[in-house]
Amino acid sequence: MTRYVLIGSGVAAVAAAEGIRTADPDGSITIISNDPDGYYSRPGLAYLLTGEIDTQLLFPFRAQDFKRLNIHLRQAKALRIRPAEKSVEIHPAAVVAYDRLLLATGASARPLTMPGSGLQGVNKLDHLEDARRLIQLAGNARSAVVVGGGITALELVEGLIARRVTVHYILRGKRFWSNVLDESESEMIENRLRKEGVILHPQREIVEIQAKNERVGGVRLDNGEQIKCEIVAYAIGTAPRTDLAREAGILCDRGILVNETFHTNQAHIYAAGDAAQIFDPDAKKYLLDSLWSSARAQGFIAGQNMAGRSVIYQKPVSFNVTRLTGLAITIIGAVGSAENIGPVEIVRGDSESWREVPLANVAEQETEHLSVRLMVGEKQILGAVVMGAPELSAPLLTLIRDRVDITPIRDQLLTPSASIEKILLEFQRISTGV
Amino acid sequence: VLRKLFQRENKRHVRMVEKHLVLDGKRCVQCGICSFNCPINIDVRRHAWENEPIFNSRCLSCGECVMRCPRGVIKFERIHLPEDGRP
């Protein structure tokens, strides 16, 4: 009987268990995780913060689901992998033997480093425990400072606003999420934030978090400005958890390096999800993704391969639909621009593939509540950012993923002030015959 | 006569299944807002995980889950059933 050991309790690990069971109904599956809350919807933490759901709703699996998959959950911290002995040393003291091992250790928030970063009231949003602490803090707070770019930072802003805390939002750059969004898209989000009462501080950095009775009392910015606050919440990027892998001699770059079957360079050891940096044959480089759907797909395939199948991961077009500032935002494919080439900081709900700069013309449509940007290649649409028109996300995903020839509408799309929304929906109607 | 019967039966099937809830599992992050807001406690989220439409006869088609899903996972769609009437 094969012994499968999965380190981590996120969606990649759970999907891996499902993948294993498609090929091996009998092997033993042990999930080792030191997160006391086990498997829950990490993206759902945003909605817990806004008060849209209760904590118990964050757990998609019930006890019978783990029983059905015959998973043994072990709450413990993995200390060391011993590849030569095919075992994992854990705390509380024990050694767990494996035949196949999966590292689904996820990614953690990059910590703040300025003086005062260790004070009580400084918070990230990695775990359910962080969300609980933030909710508790927000109950007694008047003001908060949020720092970072990308989806998690905005989720922090919106969660705190929903809890009636005044939010100061510190942006290191000129504008919000500048390496994925263009200027007008950032502006749209920023305007909506201002309407919600958020005070934005672009091109600023916190130089010190000040204490009051050993807790957060305020921050000082690089221009000398002081802001009183009781909470500092940060989401300045994530880093794959690679310590265990590195120590075991597994090849790592920014993440744990794996091929398209999720094998690491060590026999019988696999990695998937936010921790893994996967070889992309199209881009000819190893890329990071921090998307729930990618983690699930990767875990499932890794699990199948661990159980003896030979499944190759075809990296799907990177795609995310989320709601920010009340707007449905869809990002698909390559939407980068040449001005943003440089070191990449990945955040949650993010994909490095989005920063690829396609050889394309840009088609844009913009109104007060709608923004569509298409990267139009010679015959295909290569990437898209849509704000405020969720009905466009499905047809656009199909057009981009299936590399549909858009020659019949290419000129129309690129006509200045074209109604891109209408053109696309009409094209979809004709193509599908609906 | 047979063709008429078949057409009538087919129309009935189409009507029966008109506007079922269809879920796009690839978009879903299992946050549970849909299940939380279902007035009759259908575990909508599980359907998204399994990528299965909701054929639950208790579904009120109220649209709460469709409206509240922050990621546009759920849609009302017309589904044509095969002749045996099963999905």
| pLDDT at A343 (0 to 100) | 46
Q: Of A41, A57, A393, which is closest to B29 when you measure between CB atoms?
A: A41
pLDDT band of residue B87 (cuts 50, 70, 90) is very low
| pLDDT at B12 (0 to 100) | 45
Are the C-beta atoms of B26 and B1 separated by less than 8 Å?
A: no
Instruction: Name residues whose C-beta falls within 8 Å of residue A406's C-beta, 6 or more positions apart in sequence.
Output: A376, A379, A380, A381, A399, A413, A427
- For residue A27, pLDDT beyond 60: yes
Q: Which residues does chain A have within 8 Å of residue B26's beta carbon, measured at their own beta carbons?
A: 293, 316, 319
Q: Of A46, A60, A394, which is closest to B30 when you measure between CB atoms?
A: A60
Average pLDDT in chain A: 93
Q: Which residues does chain A have within 8 Å of residue B49's beta carbon, measured at their own beta carbons?
A: 60
| pLDDT at A222 (0 to 100) | 97
pLDDT band of residue A337 (cuts 50, 70, 90) is low
| pLDDT at A231 (0 to 100) | 98
Q: Of B33, B45, B71, which is closest to A52 when you measure between CB atoms?
A: B33
Q: Quick: pLDDT tens for A204-248.
A: 999 999 999 999 999 999 999 999 999 999 999 999 999 999 999
Q: What percent of chain A has pLDDT over 70?
A: 97
The average pLDDT across A366-388 equals: 91
- For residue A338, pLDDT beyond 60: no
User: CA-to-CA distance for A405 and A63, rounded, in angstroms?
Assistant: 47
The average pLDDT across B45-50 equals: 95
The average pLDDT across B39-63 equals: 89
The average pLDDT across B10-31 equals: 74
User: CA-to-CA distance for A299 and A21, rounded, in angstroms?
Assistant: 12
| Beta carbons of B72 and A292 less than 8 Å apart | no
| Beta carbons of A43 and B26 less than 8 Å apart | no
| pLDDT at A366 (0 to 100) | 86
Helix, strand or coil, per DSSP, at residue A325:
coil
Interface probe for B, chosen from A47, A48, A434 (most Cβ of B below 10 Å), is A47
| pLDDT at B11 (0 to 100) | 54
Q: Which residues does chain A have within 8 Å of residue B71's beta carbon, measured at their own beta carbons?
A: 321-323, 328
| pLDDT at A269 (0 to 100) | 98
pLDDT band of residue A410 (cuts 50, 70, 90) is very high
- For residue A190, pLDDT beyond 90: yes
For the CA atoms of A128, A133, A136, A141, what is the dihedral angle to 10 degrees?
-130
Query: Quick one: residue A190, left, alpha or beta (phi over 0 = left, psi -120 to 50 = alpha)?
Result: alpha
Establish if B67 touches chain A: CB-CB under 8 angstroms: no
Nearest to A330 by CA among A349, A306, A303: A349
The average pLDDT across A124-129 equals: 96
Total number of residues shown for chain A: 434
Sign of CA dihedral A320, A324, A326, A332: negative
Q: Which chain A residue shows the shortest CA-CA distance from B78? A: A434
CA distance A293 to chain B (A): 6
CA distance B80 to chain A (A): 14
| pLDDT at B15 (0 to 100) | 42
The average pLDDT across A84-94 equals: 97
Establish if B36 touches chain A: CB-CB under 8 angstroms: yes
| Beta carbons of B27 and A321 less than 8 Å apart | yes
Q: Of A44, A54, A390, which is closest to B29 when you measure between CB atoms?
A: A44
Q: Which residues does chain B have within 8 Å of residue A42's beta carbon, measured at their own beta carbons?
A: 29
Q: Of B26, B36, B72, which is closest to A53 when you measure between CB atoms?
A: B36
- For residue B13, pLDDT beyond 80: no
CA distance A58 to chain B (A): 6
pTM: 0.89
Of A52-56, A118-122, A348-352, minimum mean pLDDT range? A348-352
Interface of A with B (CB under 8 A): 11, 41-44, 46-47, 52-54, 57-58, 60, 292-293, 316, 319, 321-323, 328, 390, 393-394
The average pLDDT across B4-11 equals: 66
User: CA-to-CA distance for A293 and A272, rounded, in angstroms?
Assistant: 12
| pLDDT at A45 (0 to 100) | 96
Interface probe for B, chosen from A40, A152, A293, A330 (most Cβ of B below 10 Å), is A293
Instruction: Name residues whose C-beta falls within 8 Å of residue A269's C-beta, 6 or more positions apart in sequence.
Output: A81, A83, A101, A102, A103, A248, A250, A263
- For residue A90, pLDDT beyond 80: yes
Of A63-72, A345-354, B59-68, minimum mean pLDDT range? A345-354
| pLDDT at A358 (0 to 100) | 78
Q: Could you tell me where the beta strands, DSSP code E, fall in chain B? A: 20-23, 74-77
- For residue B84, pLDDT beyond 60: no
How many other CB atoms are there within 10 angstroms of residue A338's CB atom?
6
Interface probe for A, chosen from B22, B28, B30, B79 (most Cβ of A below 10 Å), is B30
- For residue B48, pLDDT beyond 60: yes
Question: Structure tokens of A165?
Answer: 């805390």
Regarding predicted confidence, which is higher, A111 or A432? Answer: A111
Question: Structure tokens of B55?
Answer: 């054929």
CA distance B54 to chain A (A): 17
| Beta carbons of B70 and A322 less than 8 Å apart | yes
| pLDDT at B81 (0 to 100) | 57
pLDDT band of residue A339 (cuts 50, 70, 90) is low
Establish if B62 touches chain A: CB-CB under 8 angstroms: no
User: CA-to-CA distance for B35 and A273, rounded, in angstroms?
Assistant: 26
Nearest to B32 by CA among A387, A92, A55, A426: A55
pLDDT band of residue B76 (cuts 50, 70, 90) is confident
For the CA atoms of A310, A316, A318, A324, what is the dihedral angle to 10 degrees?
-100
Highest mean pLDDT among A9-23, A406-420, B23-37: A9-23
Pairing of strands A206-212, A215-221: antiparallel
User: CA-to-CA distance for A363 and A383, rounded, in angstroms?
Assistant: 11
Are the C-beta atoms of A80 and A244 separated by less than 8 Å?
A: yes
Q: Of B26, B30, B49, which is closest to A44 when you measure between CB atoms?
A: B30
Establish if B78 touches chain A: CB-CB under 8 angstroms: no
Cα Rg of chain B (Å, integer): 15
| pLDDT at A342 (0 to 100) | 46
pLDDT band of residue A341 (cuts 50, 70, 90) is very low
Are the C-beta atoms of A152 and A107 separated by less than 8 Å?
A: no
